[in-house]
Structure 1
Amino acid sequence: MRLRAASTLVVAGALALAGCGDPDGSGSGGGTAELSVGSAYMPQPVSDIAAGFLTITNEGDAADRLTSVSSDVAGQVTVHETVDGAMQEVDGLDIPAHGSLVLESGGNHLMFEQLKRKPKQGQKVSVELRFDRSDPVTVEIPVKPATYTPKAGHGTGQDTGHDTAHKTGHETGH
C-alpha cells in the first residue's frame, strides 16, 4: 500500500512539473527544451575582439532561443547573424525543437568585445549562455590557434568538445 501511495505522489509531482512548461500560453504544448552544447572553440584573438563558435543541440519537444551571452573575459559578448555574407548583431537566435543552432566561422557566431585580457591558445574561456525558456548554461570554451579550422562535423556536434556542457529539460518559471 505504501508503494502505491509513493507512486501516486511521483506521478502527481511529474504532472505538476509538466504544467510549468508554458507560463505565457504561447502554445508550445508545454514541452521542454533539452539543450546540450558542443564543438565550442575560440580562435586565439589577435586584437581586442574575439569570436566564439559552438553548437547548441535541442533534443526536446519545445523550441528555445539563445537570448544573451556573457563572459568575464569581455566587457560585452554579442550574438551575430550572418545573412548573405553580411554580419549583424541580433537580440537572439532560435534553437528549434529536435534541431540545432550552429555558430560557426562564416556564419552565425559570438563576438567578444572589449576584451579584458587576450586568452591564449590552450586556455579556456568561461561563458554563460542564457535562453528564453531554459536555465543558463556555463560553457568552458577552449582557445585554439588563431588559424584553427574545426574537423568536418563541427555543425553536427561530432567534433571533439561535444561534452563541453550539457543542460537538459530545465526551464525557468518553476
Structure 2
Amino acid sequence: MFPRLLPVLFAAVLVLSGCGDGGSDDNTQASGVAAANAWVKATDMNMSAAFMVVSNSAEEDATIVGVTTDLTDTAELHETADGTMRPVESLTVPAGGSLMLEPGGNHLMLMELTEAIDPGQEVTFTLEFDDGSTFDVTATAKDFAGGAEDYEGTEEH
C-alpha cells in the first residue's frame, strides 16, 4: 500500500511547495545573492574586519549600501586603494558575477567593538542593499596576522 501512496505524496509536496506568499522577495537584489567563505578577524582590540565572496545570480547588479552586526553600531563598507583604507558608500556585486571582500581590498570594517571576537566565534552580519532588501551572513572568527590592514584607524575614525 505504501508504494502506491509515494507518488501521491510526492505530487502533494510539489503542489504545496508552490504555495509560498510569492511576495516581492523574489524580485529583490538580495534574492540573487549568496555568500561563501565568510570570516571575521578575531581580535581583542576595538576594530576588526570581515571578508567573504558575495555572488549574484540575478540579471541585475546588486548594490550593497550598508552592513549591521550586533558587535557594534559602527560597521562600514571599506576599500583599500593605493595602500589607504577608506569608507565607501556602496559596493556592487555584478549581475552573474561576484565581489571579493578580502584583506588588502574591499571589506566590511567593524569599529568600536563592544566585545572581543574570539577564534571560532560565529558572527552574523546583515548586508543592506539599495532597494531596501537585506541578506544575513554568518562568519566564523579566525586568527589572522597577514594582509596590509592596520586596524588602528585613521583621523576620520
Give TM-score scaled by structure 2 length: 0.71
Which one has the largest radius of gyration?
Answer: 2
Write the distance in 2 (CA, Å) between the matches of 1:54 and 1:134: 21
The alignment's C-alpha RMSD in Å is 2.7
CA distance in 2 between counterparts of 1:140 and 1:132 reads: 21
Task: Specify every segment of 5 or more residues in structure 1 that has no aligned partner in the other structure, as ranges.
Answer: 1-9, 23-30, 150-174
1:34 corresponds to 2:28: no
Structure 2 unaligned blocks of 5 or more: 1-17, 148-157
2:125 corresponds, among 102, 124, 127, to 127
8 Å CA contact 2:50, 2:109 repeated in 1 = yes
Match of 2:55 among 57, 67, 73: 57
Distance 2:132 2:126 in 1: 12
Question: Identity of aligned pairs, percent?
Answer: 29
Letter in 2 for 1:127: F
The alpha-carbon deviation at position 148 of structure 1 amounts to 7.0
Instruction: Map 1:62-77 onto structure 2 (within 5 A).
Output: 62-77=60-75
**Deviation at residue 81 of structure 1 after TM alignment:** 1.2
Aligned residues: 126
Return closer, same or farther for 1:103/1:32 CA change in 2, 3 Å cut-off: closer
Q: Which residue of 1 aligns with 2:96?
A: 98
Runs of 4+ off more than 2 Å: 146-149
Q: Write the letter of the residue equivalent to 2:60.
A: A
User: TM-score when scaled to structure 1?
Assistant: 0.64
